[in-house]
Structure 1
């Protein structure tokens, strides 16, 4: 497996409702620019249309906005709610973004996270996951086949449909895996990547190995490849130089975020526990949901997930939130870049070896340099005499 990648999963969360959206969008852009400078590999941006807190309705537009203002980071829909869209237009826009970004675009798919979104456009909540499976079949035909497609569903009708565009690259496509086996079924059938959005929640953590088993079973059934390097695990994480400082940092926004998950977001598999600040800190740290602590705590969390996955995964995505003020949040990402990423990417090993070698050679080399300087002085001044 290739070295682990790091990135963020940006809903984005902006609780509580009532903030200036222009300012919020600017903060989101600046976070992605910051990650780009730090060497993070990926940022995935969500699609939401209700509840007033997750406020990007079209991640593809936001990706196009960010792409011109970043250099290296890959940008993905995290995720695009496929049952809300005509698959032909999704295929066209995905290929378009792949060309515009010169290969930095990634397409993440899901059934739709907020029940209020589906309700407003007349999609029954009970139908969303079946719709995702059916619509992914259609989308993958449009992306991979030269043959026109005719199909009719309760949500759209295609007649001899075929995209007129050619991809710039074989861009990454992933599907969300949360509390059901739908995502793993789709990933295995089509040979896609997988984003385990609820990987660190109790139910998601317990299902990690089972989800990958489903991917492998379906891949074998349909003759595709189950590639662990394309498996991304998502979880919240805020770190500082000390655990005490990290806890103090999240006094800024943890309570509002927890209130959103408990009283506004109708998604039972990702709901904060506790009522007091201390109870909610314990819910994050003691249940294994995430990390509010130090770089060492972050390393231990990822190692724990590696073990639970029963074979490893390819990327760790930090569930981006605004638990802390922007300066503290950016400092957390700096600490992850400098002290957590190198542990799993092996980028600092030779630097440490070089330092240890220099320490071992210091005494002998230092003495030789001192003698060489003295000899040079003696040669110069000795001639003058």
Structure 2
């Protein structure tokens, strides 16, 4: 069965349950990125959080600099840099330096920031974050373009004859992605500036699934108005995915972690009324799967779920697996390994040549093996020995060749 062509990566916020050594958590996250690189996944995105006790990385750029030294080919992105928290010159300057340190493997993911505690500590009015994001984004893009000095003044940053000393490592520049949850603004900014959209496809507990098809329309409409184009191949969807040997086994491996995430993070920290949603204790993972917030099962079941997401969204270029610490360290690594071994090949075309060759040999096996048996028997008779009797192959059936 032919499936759509999709790339794969990971979106590692990260969110870790409290109570574990935070220093070791950082090293475990670095180890996970190393593992993704060994498995051949395309990219890893690392988030920025400063409060709440679950998000443990405050500077994705510092983390990615260390990850770059441990990896060979995986692309590395900030997932995301919260633009209202930083002066745009520093955002642009840091990412271009990282671009050179990684020899062009870095991507800049940007957003408004999602943690209310972070904005509060920085004295930022949540109602101003989207405006600030749009203003900063324009400045960052202008600086990265490097076409001349940038002068801009807003009520929260000033640029005066600003220009970067470094230029991006590659002539094509640095890929810039913008995160989108449910509101139209981020998709509209992606379209207006020709950026790569990065959408969260999983609903929050108790929420409705985002209308991904409509989200893409926002980007297309804004792109058309600005005289730009957006490509579905550049659209990334972020979703919880876990690959087990079977769905039953996978659900059991996730049960405790999913409950801690839903009740400990969204219930206790974010304040969502999880109990009022009618989710029974111990049934959190079932609720997440049923709502579409997670794709869980055997490799083929996960592949079917991803294909269904591709169909319902209208099509996207890459799927990013959320790193949410639902499973143990060992099981998380096994899930990614099963993803890379059994799911990714169904979407990247790497099996097509093998399938074609297998079918070709099966369809022609009578001719091939008969010739081989004849040559083998002639070797005996040419030497004056009695040739052994060997069974001829059974012709391929229509069912085998269909």
**Is the alpha carbon distance of 1:112 and 1:268 closer, same or farther for their aligned partners in structure 2, counting shifts above 3 Å?**
farther
Aligned equivalents of 1:261, 1:154: Cα separation in 2: 34
The total of aligned residue pairs comes to 379
Give the TM-score, by structure 1 length.
0.91
Aligned to 2:14, which of 12, 15, 19? Answer: 12
Aligned to 1:325, which of 328, 331, 351? Answer: 328
Residue in 2 aligned with 1:309? Answer: 313
Any conservation in 2 of the 1:4–1:315 contact (CA below 8 Å)? Answer: yes
**Is the alpha carbon distance of 1:164 and 1:139 closer, same or farther for their aligned partners in structure 2, counting shifts above 3 Å?**
same
| Superposition RMSD in Å | 2.4
Give the TM-score, by structure 2 length.
0.88
Residue in 2 aligned with 1:221? Answer: 225
1:327-366 to structure 2, matched below 5 A, reads 327-366=330-369
Aligned equivalents of 1:295, 1:272: Cα separation in 2: 34
Aligned equivalents of 2:365, 2:54: Cα separation in 1: 57
Q: Secondary structure at the match of 1:151?
A: strand
Any conservation in 2 of the 1:203–1:269 contact (CA below 8 Å)? Answer: no
Render the CA deviation track for 1:107-152: whole Å, top value 9, x for unaligned. Answer: 0001112110111111111111111111111111111142222222
Aligned equivalents of 2:273, 2:186: Cα separation in 1: 15
Gaps of 5+ in 2: 386-402
Deviation at 1:22, TM superposition (A): 2.3
Residue in 1 aligned with 2:102? Answer: 101
Instruction: Say whether residues 1:71 and 2:72 are aligned partners.
Output: yes
Aligned equivalents of 1:192, 1:353: Cα separation in 2: 37
1:50-129 to structure 2, matched below 5 A, reads 50-129=51-130
Aligned equivalents of 1:64, 1:179: Cα separation in 2: 31
**Is the alpha carbon distance of 1:269 and 1:234 closer, same or farther for their aligned partners in structure 2, counting shifts above 3 Å?**
farther
Aligned equivalents of 1:269, 1:222: Cα separation in 2: 41
Aligned equivalents of 2:210, 2:93: Cα separation in 1: 37
Gaps of 5+ in 1: none
**Is the alpha carbon distance of 1:331 and 1:274 closer, same or farther for their aligned partners in structure 2, counting shifts above 3 Å?**
farther
**Is the alpha carbon distance of 1:204 and 1:350 closer, same or farther for their aligned partners in structure 2, counting shifts above 3 Å?**
farther
Aligned to 2:295, which of 260, 283, 291? Answer: 291
Aligned equivalents of 1:272, 1:37: Cα separation in 2: 43
Any conservation in 2 of the 1:258–1:271 contact (CA below 8 Å)? Answer: no
Aligned equivalents of 2:273, 2:140: Cα separation in 1: 28
Q: Secondary structure at the match of 1:253?
A: helix
Deviation at 1:225, TM superposition (A): 1.7
Aligned to 2:197, which of 176, 194, 198? Answer: 194
Aligned equivalents of 1:59, 1:204: Cα separation in 2: 30
Deviation at 1:367, TM superposition (A): 4.2
**Is the alpha carbon distance of 1:265 and 1:232 closer, same or farther for their aligned partners in structure 2, counting shifts above 3 Å?**
farther
Any conservation in 1 of the 2:54–2:265 contact (CA below 8 Å)? Answer: no
Aligned equivalents of 1:273, 1:129: Cα separation in 2: 30
Moved more, 164-173 or 340-349: 340-349
Aligned equivalents of 2:207, 2:192: Cα separation in 1: 23
Any conservation in 1 of the 2:51–2:115 contact (CA below 8 Å)? Answer: yes
Deviation at 1:197, TM superposition (A): 2.0
**Is the alpha carbon distance of 1:57 and 1:91 closer, same or farther for their aligned partners in structure 2, counting shifts above 3 Å?**
same
Instruction: Say whether residues 1:230 and 2:231 are aligned partners.
Output: no
Any conservation in 2 of the 1:198–1:204 contact (CA below 8 Å)? Answer: no
Deviation at 1:180, TM superposition (A): 1.2
Aligned equivalents of 2:136, 2:201: Cα separation in 1: 23
Q: Secondary structure at the match of 2:211?
A: helix
Aligned equivalents of 1:276, 1:29: Cα separation in 2: 35
Any conservation in 2 of the 1:249–1:328 contact (CA below 8 Å)? Answer: yes
